[in-house]
Chain A
């Protein structure tokens, strides 16, 4: 079987889980597509998963109330072993890429990390992934009785419900207690659409000038377009915006339909997080700014003049 570990938050199945189902179905690997739901009070999530999967395994346990790498790895390994999974698919989120290597070691399996495509090549599983700050696409492959994969969010279409819902089964697990004690949590909430799910993103760089202008121009344009808000590291370092909005090597990776960069120079570390956007739009007063090299549409001009005009025009 192909085992997928569901990603979910706030009682809902994440879009990434639906993407993993597509990755599994399109991979050419055989066997039922099985979704494993780990957590507490996850019945509604299991039902959502059953709509797209052949079967759903549910571990509803207090020790799984919050994610931790050791419990998630142990749970996934037990189920993969019992179900004789030949492919284990885990989300390419922070947490997924944190516990997946542990699963690979426990199963003594090869690990294909952060795949953007997946296909069977004889007995092997072949994947593409980005390397060298996302400047290179490498094709890698591995084979074994079982292969562990993480899938990069946004790389596959979300699976739509089709046919009959899959059966749900409860599973028994013995899990280790986490040795990391969480002493505080801060959830970065945004009233706007989440960066990794947004179809349009407006990002501000240092060229926006200051925190006040960032609200006026970047948030102003985002609201006019119903877009998510992103920031460069320079902006986050300056304290104008929270780290949750940072796009780039050490921030989020996004690939929206349109990425609008305001006063962003286009450093490689920033490009590595947004260079795969379908359309890149750049506004910068320096005609030589590297961001223009990757832009589909560019305006050479001053943020202070162009953006108010854009907000005005997009409201019409």
Chain B
């Protein structure tokens, strides 16, 4: 069986995000593979290392040229090959799931791993929408996963706690913290990755039509009071803070 891991190249968490002509502009921003997607790549490698009969682990990215870097990172971590559906158009997650479903079918994939919430569009929709298009079940916010034959077991978070589950492949699994600690690519593996296949696909062949328009983007700046209180005299500082919370902010009685 084959595993597909979905990948996005996003701004480094510490990087500044800037806006240009009412849209986010990533020119000159430090970009990295999304941390949430890294859990997915790592998990695919671990399932294989744990003895599951996995022929190929394929990384898929859809988006601008910069995504190549994330795919190279995935290859260096150990995935077998990569597919880049290159497009500069900003498609919404539900539209992108069309590509995921088509690639999954063409590549004979049984398991899709995807980050629980991507750090660029703050969306949780790609995995679920892909599962629906394929007619597969999905497990979101997974922090423990085992594969035995065609049976997945594990644990994932739900609204009010967590659940242990069992499901048969094929399935879509979305990842999150706690699932694993992603490995760093080693230098020899980075060298090896250069020889691995990174196939370019034409976005036009997937019949995409954007359904959500971005009208505007703004950096959130909320004016904060920034009232600083010296803590050298703890009693005085505590009294002053409570007074401010009561009289100025009016948040406590």
Alpha-carbon distance A182/B167, docked complex (angstroms): 9
Contact B122 A131 (CB under 8 A): yes
Contact B251 A257 (CB under 8 A): yes
Contact B235 A309 (CB under 8 A): yes
Q: Which one of A94, A126, A134, A225 contacts B141 once the chains associate, using CB atoms below 8 Å?
A: A94
A191 within 8 A of B: no
Contact A297 B225 (CB under 8 A): yes
Contact A105 B225 (CB under 8 A): no
Nearest A residue to B177, CB-CB: A250
Alpha-carbon distance A71/B156, docked complex (angstroms): 18
- Highest count of chain B CB atoms <10 Å: which of A104, A233, A300: A104
Check A186/B227 contact, CB under 8 A, given A137-B217, A225-B252, A299-B241: no
A249 within 8 A of B: yes
Contact A188 B168 (CB under 8 A): no
Q: Which residues of A contact B132 (CB under 8 A)?
A: 73, 101-102, 105-106
Q: Which residues of B contact A138 (CB under 8 A)?
A: 24, 214, 216-218
B166 within 8 A of A: yes
Nearest B residue to A227, CB-CB: B252
Distance in Å from the Cβ of A112 to the closest Cβ of chain B? 7
- Highest count of chain B CB atoms <10 Å: which of A105, A134, A139, A187: A105
Q: Which one of B122, B165, B226 contacts A181 once the chains associate, using CB atoms below 8 Å?
A: B165
Q: Which residues of A contact B218 (CB under 8 A)?
A: 136-138
Contact B159 A139 (CB under 8 A): no
Contact B238 A309 (CB under 8 A): yes
Alpha-carbon distance A130/B220, docked complex (angstroms): 9
Contact B251 A69 (CB under 8 A): no
Give the size category of B's interface with A: 35 or more
Contact A132 B161 (CB under 8 A): no
Alpha-carbon distance A269/B106, docked complex (angstroms): 36
B49 within 8 A of A: no
A298 within 8 A of B: yes
Nearest A residue to B168, CB-CB: A179
Nearest B residue to A258, CB-CB: B251
Contact string, A287-316, partner B, CB cutoff 8 A, digits 1/0? Answer: 000001111111111100110111011100
Contact A135 B167 (CB under 8 A): no
Contact A314 B226 (CB under 8 A): no
Check A258/B249 contact, CB under 8 A, given A140-B215, A141-B215: yes
Contact B129 A104 (CB under 8 A): yes
Closest 10 A/B residue pairs (Cβ): A301-B231, A110-B211, A184-B164, A309-B238, A258-B251, A101-B129, A101-B128, A102-B132, A105-B132, A296-B225
Q: List 28 A-B contacts (CB under 8 A).
A: A9-B159, A69-B128, A93-B159, A94-B159, A98-B138, A102-B129, A105-B129, A111-B92, A131-B217, A136-B219, A138-B217, A139-B217, A140-B214, A141-B212, A142-B211, A178-B137, A179-B168, A184-B163, A186-B163, A187-B161, A243-B157, A250-B36, A250-B177, A257-B249, A258-B252, A281-B245, A292-B228, A299-B230
